[in-house]
Structure formats: structure tokens, C-alpha cells
Amino acid sequence: MTPKQALLAKIADRGTVIGICGLGYVGLPLALRFAQAGFRVIGFDIDRAKIDALNAGRSYIGHIGDAPVAAARAAGFEATDDFARAGEADALILCVPTPLGHNREPDLSFILATLESLAPHLRAGQLLSLESTTYPGTTEEELRPRIEQRGFTVGKDFFLVFSPEREDPGNPDFDTRRIPKLCGGSTPDCLEVGVALYGAAIDRVVPVSSTRVAEMAKLLENIHRAVNIGLVNEMKVVADAMGIDIHEVIRAAATKPFGFVPYWPGPGFGGHCIPIDPYYLAWKAKQHGVEARGQSLPGSRILVLGIAYKKNIDDTRESPAVQIMELLVQRGATAAYSDPHVPSFPKMREHRFELGSVTLTQKAVAGYDALVLATDHDAFDYAMLLKHARLIVDARGAYRKSAPNLVRA
């Protein structure tokens, strides 16, 4: 039996051990899904607090409750920071961050550091899948040579695929199982193994001809969103100047049953992917040839409502709300925030605020010179805010009707 046949047989019998490297917003849901599908799962992370929480059956992500974690633990899931255990896994899936460097160049340090930790423990017959969003060519140019340096032949005794994550945190209509999964392999045999693995846990797997196609497809998905969010924000500026409600315009346009996808204006775009991915493509491509109304900002006390990058979740990665806070501080204002899903300001590489979430009492709201609605969480008492705030800058369109203390950003 060849290594490919042996691995395919293990997958079919649910005998495959799955190793998930990186237990964040992508890795944890994937780990839980494979556990639900009947596989033994080992989660790898360098954050001891995450490991301890998971092994105690607790979740640390707001939209993922404790129950699925506890159920996965009962099914054999365990978390560890001991990367020497990578040899126990038949499939290793990398779900680590791919941020930008200081000059907006791709930062693959998390991917490469994880692979370096795994490398001494890799063995013949394993599958390695990269899910982290990156530029086309990463899998073949960075991962494959490092694997082959260990003496393996990709496609023969070791299998390599790229299968980009498509998580949408907090979206009740699409969970990990129901979101179609792209998969591109370094070789046809790699693709066959990758499709079999993901097909055992995901309802629909979409094979593509290469890892580069899969990498480019992920960038296109997110750049498409970035371009259209930018477009609708520009359209809002024009519509406001003409006295037109952009939200009504979008709803009207969305009645067209073909050729139009509604995007809604806001303070910007956030999350890990959309603000970053265009720079990944731009970097790789190079290798191939209105003033705000209101009082003066200096000395003002501004409360930013919501610092998660979208409503009803606790994910603050690349959130435009955080950038708004920094801009306010740079221009002389004092910035605070209130977010029911983020009780204390998280540790970030680029942004540092020693702040806790402000409780939204009537007195507290009235004490700020302005409120900036950056993330429209359902938990906010919008009527109370409108009644007691001196000024609201509504960047999410939560207040559709005019009010004397409202600025529709």
C-alpha cells in the first residue's frame, strides 16, 4: 500500500489524527468541526492560557460557547504547546496569522516559525495544509522547499495543500461545516488526499488546479469586498452632499435580482483579512512587473462604541474602530470605548490602550463630548444613547432618521 493509499484509508475509517496549529478564530472552529466529525484532534498553540481553557472545556471566543469545546474534549480533543507531538498527527493544518510588516509587506514569520517547530517531527505519510491567507506562491516557494529539505518527496511520501480559511465569525447562517472549502494541491495526489480529508468534515470541497489558484482565489474574495466597501463609502459621501439617504439607495439597488451585491457604508473595514490582503497581492504583483463637523478635537472626550471589527463578536483584529481611537488621540482628544463583547482592551502588536469597556449609563454617556458608533452591536441601547449623548457620529447607519445631536458619518 502506498503512502497515499494508507492515508486515504485512514481518513475513510476516521482513524486519522488531525493536528491544528493555531487555535484562534480559524483554528478552533476547525478543530471542533473535525472532532464533531469523529476524528481525534490535537490542537497546538503557544498561548498557555488558551491551552488551559480548552483542556478545561472552556471557550475564549465570544461566539463559540463552552458546550462545543466540552463536547470535543469528551470526544478526545486536547490542546498542547508541545510541538514534538506533531508526529502523532497524520494531518497538520496551519491556521496562524499572516499580518503585515511595518512597510506593509507580507509577514510570514508565524507560518515559518510554526513550520520550523514542526519540522523535526514530520514523518512520511503526513499531510500538511496551509489555511493562512497569503500571496500566490507561498505554499510552493516557502513551504515545499522546507519540507523537501527534510528528505521527503512531496506527492509521494508527503502531501501538501493550500486550503484557505473562510470563517465569518458570528454569522449564524454559515458555520465551518457549511462553508464550501477550496483546496489546491502541490501535485494531483496531494489534491486527492486534501479533498478526502476536508470532505470528511466539510459539506462541500471545491478542488482547484494548484495551490497558487487557491491562494489567489482567497485574495480575490477579500479584495472584492475591500473594493466594494470603499466604493460604497465614497458613494455615501456623494449621497450625503446631495441630501440622499445612501441606505435607501442600497436597499433599492438590491432589489435587482442579478448583477448587484449590497454593501453597506461604515467607518472602514476590519478583521484579519480584508484590510491586509490587498497588500499581499500588491507586494507579489511588484515582483512581476471630508472634514468632520463638530467641536474642536483637542481636549475633547470621545467615546467609541464598539471596537470589534463587526457586530456581535469579540474579534478586534484590524478593526477600524481602533484606528479611529488612535487618530483621535493623535489629534489631541481623549478616547475611551464601550464594547459589551470586549471587556478590556486586548493586547495588539500595533495598538496599545490601557482601557476597560465603559458601562453605558445615562450619566456616563452624557459626560462625553461625542460618541462614535463604530460597531453596531445589538446589545447597545440605541434609544438611550440618542437621548443622552451630546453628539453621535453614526458610522454604521444605525440611526436612519435625522436627529439634532446626530452626525451621519
d(C-alpha 28, C-alpha 48), whole Å: 15
CA 93 → CA 19, 26, 238, distances in Å?
A: 6, 11, 45
Hunting for cell 502531501 — which residue is that?
159
> H or E segment at 393?
strand 392-394
What pairing do the DSSP bridges indicate for beta strands 301-305 and 334-338? parallel
Residue among 25, 21, 23 at smallest CA distance from 319: 25
d(C-alpha 162, C-alpha 181), whole Å: 10
Cα of 173 vs its chain's centroid, Å: 17
Strand locations in 239-306 (E): 301-305
d(C-alpha 272, C-alpha 48), whole Å: 22
Residue positions annotated with a catalytic role: 273
User: Strands across the sheet with 301-305, in order?
Assistant: 334-338, 301-305, 370-373, 392-394, 406-408
Beta carbons within 8 Å of 42's beta carbon, 6+ residues apart = 17, 18, 19, 20, 77, 78, 79, 80, 85, 88, 89
Question: For residue 252, with 0-12 CB atoms within 10 Å meaning exposed, 13-18 middle and 19 or more buried, which class applies?
Answer: exposed
